[in-house]
Amino acid sequence: MRKAHLTSSATYWVAKQFPVIISCEFSYDVRDPFAVTLILNSEGEHPVRWVFSRELLADGLTGSTGEGNVTVWPENDGADGWFLWLEVGRDPHTALFEMPADAITEWLLETYRLVPEGQEASWMTWDELTHLIE
């Protein structure tokens, strides 16, 4: 199996003045080439798993993107460099996370080496998906 994995940290902004550093893990598997999985608080008692589009994450590195449960946008703070903001959930129950963009960018490049952009459909195992529907 071909996979890409990134273990990192994220700042969970519980409130405007209350940041909490948590562990997070990004994973990508060629068996589901359109999606990435993000596990927040991956070393905690109650990890939270979000699965969303790889394209959404990539687009979020260059501009604001996303509707519904996941939105992503970049920010350059000038001093420490680029960050990626990720908001998950639906109003009024959303959570905001700040992550270093460089590590995510490198990891995404690794996923594109596994499955190039535009070739995702050729990696789909349609028989497996049909079996899941039945």
Q: Could you tell me the two tokens for 41?
A: 């608080």
Tell me the mean pLDDT in the region 89-108: 91
CATH code, domain with 96? 2.30.31.20
The model carries a pTM of 0.82
The tally of domains found in the chain comes to 1
CA distance 47 to 41: 5
pLDDT for 8: 93
pLDDT for 78: 72
pLDDT for 76: 87
Note the pLDDT tens digit of each residue in 31-80: 889 999 999 988 888 899 999 999 999 999 999 999 888 999 999 877 77
Question: Residue 15: which domain range?
Answer: 3-133
